[in-house]
Amino acid sequence: MKPPLKIAIAGLGTVGAGVLKLIAANGDLIAKRCGRPLFVVAVGARDRGKDRGVALGAVKWYDDAERMAEEADAEVVVELIGGADGIAKRICEAAIARGRHVVTANKALLANHGTALARAAEAKGVALCYEASVAGGIPIVKALREGLGANRLSRIYGILNGTCNYILTVMRKTGRVFEDVLAEAQKLGYAEADPGLDVDGIDAAHKLAILAGVAFGTEIRFDAVHVEGIRHVSPLDIEYAKELGYRIKLLGIARLTEHGLEQRVHPCMVPVETPIAHVEDVFNAVVADGNFVGNAVFEGRGAGAGPTASAVVADLMDIARGDRPPTFGVPMGDLAVLPTSPMERHRGAYYIRLMVVDRPGVIADVTAALRDEQVSLESMLQRGRRPGEMVPVVLVTHPTEEAAMNRALRRIGGLGSVLESPRVIRIEEL
Amino acid sequence: MKPPLKIAIAGLGTVGAGVLKLIAANGDLIAKRCGRPLFVVAVGARDRGKDRGVALGAVKWYDDAERMAEEADAEVVVELIGGADGIAKRICEAAIARGRHVVTANKALLANHGTALARAAEAKGVALCYEASVAGGIPIVKALREGLGANRLSRIYGILNGTCNYILTVMRKTGRVFEDVLAEAQKLGYAEADPGLDVDGIDAAHKLAILAGVAFGTEIRFDAVHVEGIRHVSPLDIEYAKELGYRIKLLGIARLTEHGLEQRVHPCMVPVETPIAHVEDVFNAVVADGNFVGNAVFEGRGAGAGPTASAVVADLMDIARGDRPPTFGVPMGDLAVLPTSPMERHRGAYYIRLMVVDRPGVIADVTAALRDEQVSLESMLQRGRRPGEMVPVVLVTHPTEEAAMNRALRRIGGLGSVLESPRVIRIEEL
């Protein structure tokens, strides 16, 4: 057996402790699988006294993780501190500069600085591994680069944020409003005290940008992702979705269009009979469409110490075996240059819910606005009559261009009989 | 860029032609991804005149594929002929003996001779790759060996035969009987003229045995798989399954029990809310339970030229890159020796449907037989009354041992008021 792979771990929160526990529990099997043991030689974290439930034994402790990345006698530095900038970034840069491989679970860092880090790593001949940064329990980066690597992909999409999926699942099952369910999720530890990163779609957008980079072999362009969160999803819309044969999911979708690369995160109505409609609670899922494989679906836990540690150690095993596929699937010099396909050029069907005064002529005004923009309707739902009162009217369009849809919506929103801003949810054909 | 990987292909049916088409269509991208081009130098097949829709150009043609495996100037031989014995086996043995890597889509060969071939390959220092042999469109072998490689697995299960899944899906949606739907599937090309390999569960058992080998790092033991097919699944049982909140799926399940390795293929009732219940038509799915990752679900097309070619070429790309994980995840000398956990020791819940004469005392006799074997009932369904006539009675048990269940069923089957053999479908908690 070859000598052990020497590892330094920066950050010892739940994931860092999970990695240590995993190596302690499965180290013998791992050594057989990759032909050499994994050996944690150093740990960099602040509070040495804290009980993390793992024996640190002879591991060298650094209070300064950045110094550890520079000085430790390790071939790999595992960055588990988090954050797009600051110390996490400096640790990765320092490790690469000293010719050490880097494994990270940091999606914000990858989404914002992944391309620059990948160039630096390639120049130094070291690996930059990030399986744990996207949907921890799903080995999707490996699947895109290797398992499905014989394919050209046209689209990749998925449920990339467990908190949002949990909230939407509970809302659908109980009929409760967003704010209530969020508060409960916070109590259960499924949502952060500051929930914006999750419920406003940013976390999903980080992951989507990373997936798009590796799926299409292109620079990571987080700034080009169109992002909407789930705060505006209401029980009424969830009810209508059921009636129309859909479920509402927060999806991240990246696809190649005639205009370039389209990247978007927003609530979607997905047909109830598709596999992704049944991915519930905190689970994540990713679907890839390839030109030979067709579509392949991957589902698993997106977060948590165990699944994330599983992904981190899988990366370490690749490094231990000497497997070094290019960071984004192809060498950095071969990255595809893809223009951004703007949201105004997006084509798709739309669900629109209006709150209108129930009086003659309202529907005529609404449908005239749609007709003038060449938006054709697939169906309209208006139940019961309450003359003079506010009633919901639901419209489902045929596929149309987002720019035309937006013009029609502005006109509809301005109608005196339309009492609230139109609620719009894109319908996704999967 | 490194020199091309020289490949010889044995067998030029739909999959062989698919591999050639894939390399022609995506070869440029593949070369970037693995750092060298894939180059088909030789093809071994019988009828050179047949139009396969691919340009063979300067490829050297061998009428005798076995001779090709021995003589061609190739580093890899791809075996796409099929069959557990005969020429397919000889080709793989010849290739390995001459120090060539082998890639095969042949599940019958792997299930029956996989361990011996893997030993031969390891001794010669060449790769034996078989991603395409199990669930073509799902990169599950790579996921088990690498993506989830940091985990100890306790169970792996899945829908491994697209023909059966298609038939069961159509039966559920239309209420038609097995024989009708099978005949239609044969007309559509989803089932073979001789359907036994599929509908009797053998094909799924081949795949399960391979999956168990790589999931648990042990010898492939196809002979130890308990196999039942779907011929006895009736529309009545499908109806009852719906009523009880289940769907009927043919699953292959391998798990570690206190008695050893349990491997079984049979129709199962699975809760309708689980992801696998929604894997429909010809799609396959595999679920792995790991001690850190939790459960991970993989879904995709199980057969067809495109998905199978995608898997074959992914294996070729691994070989081109020089990635050589051990055939069953660990070196052959480290394979786990696992006794077979016999079906009589299986524990689970059971669905039992009896056709009985509707007269006093019948239920008392049936429940006495269950009580005497310590089998406890979760529920019983008996609808309507037709005194003196034949009516169905459905029993659902709590988890019990199969041996006890069988003894109770023998006694129940012998009751004068029970008119047909009891129909039994195991209920699977997922």
CATH number at residue B365: 3.30.70.260
Instruction: Kindly state whether residues B154 and B292 are assigned to the same domain.
Output: yes
Position B100 in a domain: yes
Instruction: Kindly state whether residues A51 and A63 are assigned to the same domain.
Output: yes
Position B69 in a domain: yes
What's the pLDDT score for residue B86?
94
Contact call for residues B56 and B47 (beta carbons, < 8 A): no
pLDDT tens digits for range B4-57: 999 999 999 999 999 999 999 999 999 999 999 999 999 999 888 888 888 887
Q: What does the longest C-alpha to C-alpha distance in chain B come to? A: 82
- Does residue B113 or residue A48 have the better pLDDT? B113
Position B315 in a domain: no
What are the chain A neighbours of B280 within 8 Å (beta carbons)?
A: 273
DSSP one-letter code for B328: T
Q: Which residues partner with A263 through β-bridges?
A: A254
A207 is a catalytic site residue: yes
Of A48-62, A270-284, B142-156, B251-265, least confident by mean pLDDT is A48-62
Overall size of chain B counted in residues: 430
pLDDT category at B291 given cuts 50, 70, 90 is very high
DSSP one-letter code for A36: S
Inter-chain touch B307–A294, beta carbons under 8 Å: yes
Position B378 in a domain: yes
Q: How far apart are CA B338 and CA B212, in angstroms?
A: 11
Instruction: Kindly state whether residues B172 and B284 are assigned to the same domain.
Output: yes
**Six-digit token string for B59:** 């490829």
Place of tokens 């051990």: B326
Q: How far does chain B reach from its first CA to its final CA, in angstroms?
A: 47
Position B371 in a domain: yes
Interface TM-score (ipTM) > 0.85 = yes
What is the CATH classification number for the domain harbouring A20?
Answer: 3.40.50.720
What are the chain A neighbours of B326 within 8 Å (beta carbons)?
A: 33
Instruction: Kindly state whether residues B17 and B153 are assigned to the same domain.
Output: no
Of A299, A316, A325, the CB nearest to B275: A299
DSSP one-letter code for A225: -
**Catalytic residue from among B89, B107, B142, B207:** B207
Domain boundary residue, one of B298, B328, B357: B298
pLDDT beyond 90 at A383: no
B255 touches chain A (CB under 8 A): no
Q: Which of residues 308-327 of A touch B (CB under 8 A)?
A: 309-310, 313-314, 316-318, 321-323, 325-326
pLDDT tens digits for range B82-100: 999 999 999 999 999 999 9
What's the pLDDT score for residue A56?
83
Instruction: Kindly state whether residues B164 and B252 are assigned to the same domain.
Output: yes
What's the pLDDT score for residue B37?
98
What is the CATH classification number for the domain harbouring A190?
Answer: 3.30.360.10
Q: What is the dihedral of CA A384, A386, A388, A391, to 10 degrees?
A: -50
A357 touches chain B (CB under 8 A): no
Instruction: Kindly state whether residues B289 and B401 are assigned to the same domain.
Output: no
Position A309 in a domain: no
pLDDT category at B1 given cuts 50, 70, 90 is confident
Q: How far apart are CA B154 and CA B290, in angstroms?
A: 6
Inter-chain touch A321–B325, beta carbons under 8 Å: yes
Domain boundary residue, one of B78, B101, B133: B133
What's the pLDDT score for residue B54?
86
Residue A375's contacts (CB-CB under 8 Å, 6 or more residues apart) are: A397, A398, A400, A404, A405, A408
Inter-chain touch B314–A22, beta carbons under 8 Å: no
| Region A173-177 average pLDDT | 97
Inter-chain touch B150–A30, beta carbons under 8 Å: yes
A299 touches chain B (CB under 8 A): yes
B22 touches chain A (CB under 8 A): yes
**Six-digit token string for A8:** 């330094």
Instruction: Kindly state whether residues B70 and B162 are assigned to the same domain.
Output: no
Q: How far apart are CA A142 and CA A145, in angstroms?
A: 5
Position A306 in a domain: no
B355 touches chain A (CB under 8 A): no
| Region A91-102 average pLDDT | 98
pLDDT beyond 90 at B77: yes
Q: Which of residues 107-146 of B touch A (CB under 8 A)?
A: 131, 137-139, 142-143, 145-146
Instruction: Kindly state whether residues A149 and A233 are assigned to the same domain.
Output: yes
**Catalytic residue from among A50, A207, A242, A249:** A207
Provide the H-helix boundaries in B125-223: 140-142, 162-174, 178-188, 196-199, 202-216
What's the pLDDT score for residue B273?
87
CA distance B15 to chain A (A): 11
- The β-bridge relationship of strands A226-227 and A260-271 is parallel
Of A301, A313, A323, the CB nearest to B150: A313
Instruction: Kindly state whether residues A150 and A287 are assigned to the same domain.
Output: yes
Inter-chain touch A143–B145, beta carbons under 8 Å: no
Position B327 in a domain: no
Interface residue of A129, A146, A153 to substitute, partner B, most B CBs within 10 Å: A146
Place of tokens 């698919």: B18
Of A107-111, A168-172, A193-197, B127-131, least confident by mean pLDDT is A193-197
Minimal CA–CA distance to B206: which of B160, B164, B168?
B160
Instruction: Kindly state whether residues B193 and B156 are assigned to the same domain.
Output: yes
Domain boundary residue, one of B233, B267, B298: B298
Domain that holds residue B112: 5-133
Q: What percent of chain A has pLDDT over 90?
A: 91
What's the pLDDT score for residue A51?
84
pLDDT tens digits for range A184-213: 999 998 888 899 999 999 999 999 999 999
Q: Which of residues 268-297 of B touch A (CB under 8 A)?
A: 273, 275, 277-280, 290-297
pLDDT tens digits for range B338-385: 999 999 999 999 999 999 999 989 999 999 999 999 999 999 998 778
Q: What is the dihedral of CA A16, A17, A18, A23, to 10 degrees?
A: 100
Q: How far apart are CA B316 and CA B6, in angstroms?
A: 10
Work out how many domains chain B is built from and give that number: 3
Instruction: Kindly state whether residues A260 and A357 are assigned to the same domain.
Output: no
Name the closest residue on chain A to residue B333, using Cα atoms. A32
Inter-chain touch B142–A145, beta carbons under 8 Å: no
Instruction: Kindly state whether residues A333 and A350 are assigned to the same domain.
Output: no
Q: How many CB pairs under 8 A join A and B?
A: 196
